[in-house]
Amino acid sequence: MTITEKILATHCGLDEIFPGQFIEANVDLILANDITGPLAIEEFEKTGAKKVFDPSKIVLVPDHFTPCKDIKSAEMVKILRNFSKKYKTRFYEIGKVGIEHALLPEEGLVTAGSLIIGADSHTCTYGAVGAFSTGVGSTDVAFGFVTGKVWLKVPPSIKFIYTGKCGRFVGGKDIVLYTIGKIGVDGARYRAMEFEGEAIENLSMDDRFTICNMAIEAGGKNGIIAPDIITEDFLTSVAKEKGIFYRSDKDAKYENVVEIDASAIGPQVAAPHLPSNSRDVREFSDVRIDQVVIGSCTNGRISDLRRAAMIAKGKSVHSDVRAIIIPATQKVYQQAMKEGLINIFIDAGCVISPPTCGPCLGGHMGVLAKGEVAIATTNRNFIGRMGHPESFVYLSNPEVAMASAIKGRISHPDEVLK
């Protein structure tokens, strides 16, 4: 079996499972946020249940519209807060909150070999630690609150093998954008995307989280990377339990195997209005921008801020550009301050936001007006994603985003570091 099939088989008590098979599996962790959580709670209350299956395995993270931007968003967070107090679930409020998919790994809540569901499509992020992790609907989350189970159709697997080593200014974001550009936004629809090869083995955990985070942008049911020494070191540093390290069998069956030479990939930019519109950054050098956003559950971790600060140090943001930096969690924010990164950004003319999803979904902290153009380290650039339906969003890694902020147009980092 593949690593995905092994994890699912273990969680439904079967020795063997097959793609296309429907299963009911035990979950190790259930996540909901301030948009999806209230819907799940409403459905939970309709069942008449008097308790949740296990309060320690339910995590509520208000991060999309927080700090609350208006009365409605405040009311939604209040629903989560009251539910958490009543049922004693995990709850991360302002002051200790972070963007959910950066916060949970940082808090040691996700481990190898576990089964995690979340009412957010980017729950697939946690596959980076060797877990089966997938986004589900709010009704599925409510069912999970009551029973601790989820029903699934076992996905077929596609193996992605990345040979060679990544070049300068190329990381997880570029690998995944290149891959989505190669197979399309539905190229892995309801498939397990299994990433391996020399390039993956040499990536940091932050880069691995970035890759698995965007599996959903290719239609993937989950993204997953077999755990290794880098995974073990990370889990040892944050988690009470490392979990179970699964690997695919050598004779595991895959629907397809895709081989990619990572050494041939340059910094990527995805043009509006799909993540699959990815090409080398140099093909976009004539695109002027109004705003830059560096953050999100895709690229708001400390290594992302270090990369951006390396470009920004001693430079100034272009006078026509608004540059917004969003540390993904409070701990990332604090570490960035200790390392002097925040001062570098402020000296360059950036604004620093508290941890929030904010502009990624056109929520707040950087919504675009009609006709405006942004380049962002976020995961989606759909029509109207960051604001007005007639605005335009380009996706990139942190180095490209910061270089573009300085030049006032989409730029290769080499243009700034000459």
pLDDT tens column, 131-156: 999 999 999 999 999 999 999 999 99
pLDDT at 90 over 80: yes
pLDDT at 51 over 80: yes
Cα angle: 196, vertex 198, 204; to 5 degrees = 80
Token pair for 294: 């560096």
Mean pLDDT, the chain, whole residue set? 97
- Report whether 288 contacts 394 (CB < 8 A): no
**Reduced to 3 states, what is the DSSP secondary structure of residue 107?**
coil
**What pLDDT was estimated at residue 230?**
97
**Residues 6+ positions from 113 with CB-CB distance below 8 Å:** 7, 10, 130, 131, 243, 244, 245, 246
Task: For residues 357 and 413, give the distance between their C-alpha atoms in angstroms, rounded to a whole number.
Answer: 25
Residues comprising the chain, all counted: 418
Token pair for 310: 């390396």
Task: For residues 244 and 241, give the distance between their C-alpha atoms in angstroms, rounded to a whole number.
Answer: 9
**What pLDDT was estimated at residue 55?**
97
**What pLDDT was estimated at residue 94?**
87
One-letter identity of residue 97: V
**Residues 6+ positions from 153 with CB-CB distance below 8 Å:** 20, 21, 22, 23, 190
**CA-based nearest residue to 219, from 135, 319, 108, 299:** 135
Task: For residues 198 and 164, give the distance between their C-alpha atoms in angstroms, rounded to a whole number.
Answer: 6
Token pair for 366: 């950087």
Q: What percent of the chain has pLDDT over 90?
A: 97
pLDDT tens column, 321-377: 999 999 999 999 999 999 999 999 999 999 999 999 999 999 999 999 999 999 999
pLDDT at 418 over 80: no
**What pLDDT was estimated at residue 205?**
97
pLDDT tens column, 240-262: 888 999 999 999 999 999 999 99
Within 13 Å of residue 256, how many CA atoms lie on the same side as its CB?
11
pLDDT tens column, 59-84: 999 999 999 999 999 999 999 999 99
Domains of the chain, CATH where assigned: 3-245+252-260 (3.30.499.10), 268-415 (3.30.499.10)
Other Cβ atoms less than 10 A from the Cβ of 353: the count is 20
**Reduced to 3 states, what is the DSSP secondary structure of residue 10?**
helix
Task: For residues 304 and 207, give the distance between their C-alpha atoms in angstroms, rounded to a whole number.
Answer: 9
Token pair for 398: 């942190």
**CA-based nearest residue to 19, from 150, 142, 156, 119:** 156
Q: How confident is the model at residue 239 (pLDDT cuts 50, 70, 90)?
A: confident
